[in-house]
Structure 1
Amino acid sequence: MKLFIEYLKPLRGRLASGLTVKFIGTIMDLFLPLILAFIIDVVIPTGNINRVLLWGGAMVLCSIIAIVLSIKANQMASGVARDAVERIRHDLYEKITYLSASQADQYGTPSLISRLTSDTYNLHRTIGLMQRIGVRAPVLLIGGILMTVTLDPVLTLVMMGVLPFATVTIYYISKKGVPLFDQLQQEVDKLVRTVRENITGARVIKALSKTEYEKVRFEGVNQGVVDAETSANKTMAATTPLMNLFLNIGLTLVLLTSAYRVNEGLTQPGVIIAFMTYFTIILNAMLSITRIFVLFSKGLASADRVHTILQTEPELEVQPLDEIEDSAHVRFDHVSFGYEKNNTVEDIDFVLNRGETLGIIGATGSGKTTIVKLLLRLYDVDSGSIRIDGRNINSMDLEELHTKFGVTFQRDFLYADTLSENIDFGRQLPEEDILQSTEAAQAEEFIESLDEGVDHRLTAKGTNLSGGQKQRVLLSRALAGDPEILVLDDSSSALDYKTDAKLRKALNKHYQETTTIMVAQRISSIQQADQILMIDKGQIIGKGTHKELMETCEPYRDIYFNQSGGEEIA
C-alpha cells in the first residue's frame, strides 16, 4: 500500500481532478431514477405533456453529462496510471541495476524480470481501475442507499439487512486471496526462468536431442502456474455468486415488502420503480466492488514484490577512506571469500606494479573468475583487503572504481546495435580510439570485410558473428577507453594461436602502462606474463613466472605438457 501512496502523491492534483469529474458524473446517474419516480407519481397524473417533456429533457441532460464526464474521467485515470507506473518501472529498473551481484543472485534474474514486467502491469491495471470503478462504485452504493432512504426508509432497512453478510464475505475472501496471488507470481518467476533457460540454451537442447525433455519440463512448470492461478481465481470467484445470493435475497424481500406496502397504500408505484432501479444500481455497485477487491488483491501482491526491491538497501556501501602508502598498483592482501559462507577463494595474496601483467590459470570452478569479480567489487571480500594505488577499493565510489577498468567476461554480451556503438558503449569515445582498439584487438581485418565496416549492425547477442569475432569485438570494447587496468577473463578462448599471439604483442606494444590481468585456460595466452597464479580449489598453489612455475609447480607443468607436448609455445 505504501508503494501506491508514494507514487500517486506527486500526481495528487491530477488524481483529485479526475476523481472529482468521476464523482460529478456518478451523481448525475443517481438523479435519473429520482426524476423518473417524480415523473410517474407527480407529473403524469397532472396530464401536462409539457411538464413530462421538460422533466424527460432533464433526464436526457443528466445522461449526457454523466457519459461525457465519465469518458473524460476515464481518460484522466489512464493518464495517471500510465505516469505513475512509468515512474515505478523507471525506479525499479534503476534499483535493479544498482543491486550488488549477491543481491541479484538472491532474487534471481527471472524474478527481477517478472517484477519489472508482469508485476508493473498488474499495478497499472490496479491504479487505473481503482480510479475508474473505485470512486464510481462506492458513490453509487452510498448514494443509492441515501436515495432509497429518501424514497422509503422501511424498504431501505429491509435491503440493508443483507449488506453485513456481503461485507464479511468480501473481507475474508480478500484476506485469503492476497497470499494466493503472491504465490502465483512466484510460479510466474519459475516460468520466466524456464523460458529464459530454454531460449538461451536452444542450441544445446537441439544438439543433445532434448527437445521433448524440455517440453515435458516446461509443461510441468506451466502447470504450476495454471494450478496457482486456478487456486487464486477459485478463491476469489466465490465472491460474485455469494454476493449475488445475498443481494438477490435482499431483492426478494424488498419485492415482497413493496407489494404489501403498495397494497396498503403506504407507498406509490413510482417510488417502487425508482427503488428497484436504485436497488439494481446498488447491486451492480456491490459487484463492482467485489471486482475491485479481486484486482486489488492481485495488485497488492505485486506492489509488495516491487516495494521489496525498491526498499532493498545498497549492500556495497562506500566505506570510510582507507589509504596507505603503497607503490603497488594492485594488491590482494590475504583475501578470502565465499558465495554461501563456504570459501570459494582463500588467502589470495599477490602484488602487481603498474604496467605488469598477471596471468591466472586453473581448472574450471577453481575460483579464477571470482578473483576478477572481487577486484571489480561486484562482491565484498569476507576477509583481507584489495587495494589500488594503496587505497582500499571499498572506500571508492563504484563509478570511480569501475572507470579504471576495461573488462571482458567469460559470458559477455553484445547489443542489437552497430559495431561502433557496441565498442563505444555509451562513452562518447572519438572514432580514432574505436578504430585503434579494433586494430589492437585483431578485429580490424574482419570489420573491414563488412560492407558497412564499424557501422555494421549486430543482431541480439551478436548471433550474426562467429565466436572469435565476438571475442575480438568485446576486446575492442575493453581497450577502447584506454583503461588503467585491463581484465581479460578467458577472452581469447575462441581465437586461434596465431591471432592470440598477435593480440599479446599488440597489448605489449600499445598498452605498456596498462596493468593487465588475464584469466586463461591456455598457458600460451599467459606464458609471457610478469607473474602467473596457479589456482586450485580457491587457493594459490603456484605463483611466479612461467619459468619458475615450470620448475616448482607440478600441476602447472602437467597442463603445459598436455597443451604443448613439451615444446616451447610462441
Structure 2
Amino acid sequence: MKLILRSMSAYSHGIFVSIFIKFLASVAELAIPYILAHLIDDVVPLQRIGLVLLWGGLMIATSFAARQLNISANSRAVDNAHRVSYDVRQALFSKTANLSGAQFDAFGLPSLISRMTSDSYNVQACVQSLQTMCTRMPILLFGGIAATMLMDPALSAILCVIVPILLAVVLTVSRYGIPLYRRVQERLDGVVRTMREDITGIRVVKVLSKTEYEKRRFRAANDSMTHADILASTVMAVPGPFMQMCLNIGLTLVVWFGAQRVYGGAIKPGVILAFLTYFNMVMQGVMGINRIFMMLSKATASADRIDQVLSVCSDQEVLPASACPAPAGDEFIRFEHVDFSYGETDSAGSFAGAEREKCLSDINFAIRRGESLGIIGPTGCGKTTIVNLLMRFYDAESGHIFVDGRDVRSYEKDELRRKFGVVFQNDMVFFNTLRENIRFGRRIDDLALMRAVEDAAASEYISSLEGGLDYRAEIKGANLSGGQKQRLLISRALAGDPEILVLDDSSSALDYKTDAALRKAIFEHHTGAATILIAQRVSSVQNMTNILVLDNGQCIGYGSHNALLETCPAYREIYRAQMGALA
C-alpha cells in the first residue's frame, strides 16, 4: 500500500480535485431525499403550485448536479489512475532492465511479466477506486446515518445496530484477503511461464506431436490459478449475502416501526420515504466498503509484489578505481583466477543455499587489442558464462576481470557495455525494419551501417528482399531464415565499431564458405578490436590468436591451434572428429 500512496503523491493536486468533486457529488446525492421529505411533508400540504414547482425544480437540479459532478470526478479519477500506473510501469521496467543477472534469475521472467501487466493493472484500479468509491461510500454511509438521526433518532437506532455488525464482518474477512490474492498472482506467474514456453517452443511441440501433452500442462497451471482465485473471491464474497440479509431485515424493521410512528403521529410520511432512501444509501455504502476492501486486498498484494522489485538494492556496486587491484599485464582483456557458480538466489541476487558447484574454476587468459580468442568446448562447460562475467551481467566469486587496464567493477555499466558488440545465442530480432534492427537506436550513419552489412556477408540477401534495409522483420525474425538472422545480428554487432567483439555461437547456421568470408572481413576491417568467438566448430576458431578449451568449467587447454593439437588431447579429439584428420 505504501507504493500506491507514494505513486499518488506525484499527482496529489489532481487527485485532491477529483476527491473534492466526488465529495460535492455525494453531498448532493444526500440532499435529494431530504428535499423529497420537505416537499411531501411541508410544501405539498400548502397546495401552492409555485412552491411545489420550485422545490421540484430544486430536486431535479440537485440530481443533475450530482450526475455531472460524478461524471467529472470519475473522468478525472480515470486520468489520474492512468498517470500513476504509467509511472509505476515505467519505474518497474527501468528497474527490471537494471537488475543483475542473479536478481533477474531470482524473480524469473514470467513473474516480472505478470508484475508488469496484471499487478500494475490492479494498482491502477485501486488508485481509481480510492478517488471514487473510497470517497463516495463513506460519505453515503456516515452522511446517511447522520441524516436519519436528524430526522428520527428512534428509527436510526436500527442502523446504529446493523452497521457496526456489518463493518466488523467486512474487516474480519478482509484480513484474509491479501495473502489469498498474493497466492493468486503467484499462480498467475506459473500460467505465464507455461504459456510463454509453449508459444516460444510451438514448433518443437508440434513436431513432436505433444500438443495434447502441453494442453494438459497448461490446464494444470490454469486450474491451479483458477482454484486460488475462486478461493480468494469466495472468501471475500462471504459478507455479501450476509449484508443483503441484514439489509432486508433492516428495511422490514424500518417499514414496520416507521408505520407505527406515522400512525402515532410521531413522524410524517415524507420522513419514511426519505428514511428508506437513506437506509438504502447506508447499505449501499456498507456494501461499497466491502468491495473497497476486496479491491484493496488485491491491490495491496499486487503493490507488494511490484515493490519487491522496485526496492531491491543493486548487488553490483561500482567500485572506485583505487579500491580495485591493477592487472598483472597490459593486455586489453584479462581474466585472473576467476571462479563463478550459478545457484539459488533471493530477490536481491544473494546466494541462499549451502555450497554450489562451480561453473567456472580458476580461469586465466589475456587478449591484446587486435588479437582474438576462440572458446570451444562441450555444451554447458561455461563458454557463455565467460562473456556474462566480462560484461558484468554477473560478478565473479573470486579472481579479477580487467578491461582496458581497469577492473570491470570500477566501470559504470553503460560505460563498460558501450565497448562491446555482441551476438548472443538465440539473440533477438525485433519487429522492425532491418535498418532499425541493425542501428538499434544508435547514431550510426548509413555508410557505417552498410559497411557492417557487407562485413557480415548480409548485403546480398538484404538487397534481394523487397525494400532492402527497409524490409520489416517479424518478431524474433520469423520471416527470416536462421542464417539470415545470424548475419543480421552480426551486422548489428559490427555497426557500432566496437572495441570488443563477442560472437557467441553466432555462425552455427552459416555454411563454411560464408563463415570463412565473415571471419576474413572481421580480421581485415576490425583490426583494432579484441575478438572473442565462441563456437562448436574447430574451423571457426582455428585461426584465432589463442584458443581456450573448456570442460566442466575448467581450462583444459590454452594456446594456438597448432600448439593445442600437440598438447591438448581433448582439442585433438574434437579436431579429428570434425575434420577427419590431424594436421
Do both proteins adopt the same fold according to a TM-score greater than 0.5, normalized to the shorter chain? yes
Aligned ranges for residues 131-530 of structure 1 at < 5 Å? 131-321=131-321, 322=324, 324=326, 326-340=329-343, 341-530=356-545
8 Å contact 1:23–1:136 — kept in the other structure?
yes
CA distance in 2, matches of 1:390, 1:153: 85
The superposition leaves residues 397-435 of structure 1 with CA deviations (integer Å, 9 ceiling, x where unpaired) of 000000111100011011111111111111120111111
CA distance in 2, matches of 1:512, 1:81: 54
CA distance in 1, matches of 2:182, 2:412: 36
Query: Which moved further from structure 2: 260-269 or 429-438?
Result: 260-269
CA distance in 1, matches of 2:534, 2:114: 34
Letter in 2 for 1:479: L
Structure 2: gaps (5+ residues): 344-355
Report the Cα offset of residue 7 of structure 1: 1.0
Q: What SS is found at the alignment partner of 1:161?
A: helix
The counterpart of 2:555, out of the listed 540, 545, 569, is 540
Aligned pair count reads 568
Query: Which moved further from structure 2: 39-48 or 179-188?
Result: 39-48
CA distance in 1, matches of 2:40, 2:569: 106
Report the Cα offset of residue 244 of structure 1: 1.4
CA distance in 1, matches of 2:463, 2:278: 78
Letter in 2 for 1:328: E
CA distance in 2, matches of 1:357, 1:136: 70
Alignment correspondent of 1:58? 58
8 Å contact 1:165–1:246 — kept in the other structure?
no
Q: What SS is found at the alignment partner of 2:295?
A: helix
CA distance in 2, matches of 1:146, 1:508: 85
8 Å contact 2:375–2:550 — kept in the other structure?
yes
Letter in 2 for 1:294: M
8 Å contact 2:163–2:286 — kept in the other structure?
no
Report the Cα offset of residue 253 of structure 1: 2.9
**TM-score, structure 1 length as denominator?**
0.98
8 Å contact 1:159–1:253 — kept in the other structure?
no
CA distance in 1, matches of 2:45, 2:454: 98
8 Å contact 1:159–1:254 — kept in the other structure?
no
8 Å contact 1:161–1:250 — kept in the other structure?
no
Alignment correspondent of 2:74? 74
The superposition leaves residues 273-304 of structure 1 with CA deviations (integer Å, 9 ceiling, x where unpaired) of 21111101111111111111111211111111
Report the Cα offset of residue 323 of structure 1: 5.4
**TM-score, structure 2 length as denominator?**
0.96
8 Å contact 2:181–2:297 — kept in the other structure?
yes
Q: What SS is found at the alignment partner of 2:175?
A: helix
CA distance in 2, matches of 1:489, 1:422: 18
CA distance in 2, matches of 1:424, 1:323: 36
Alignment correspondent of 2:352? none
Letter in 1 for 2:47: G
The superposition leaves residues 74-108 of structure 1 with CA deviations (integer Å, 9 ceiling, x where unpaired) of 11111101111111111111111111111111101
Alignment correspondent of 2:577? 562
Letter in 2 for 1:527: Q
Query: Which moved further from structure 2: 353-362 or 320-329?
Result: 320-329
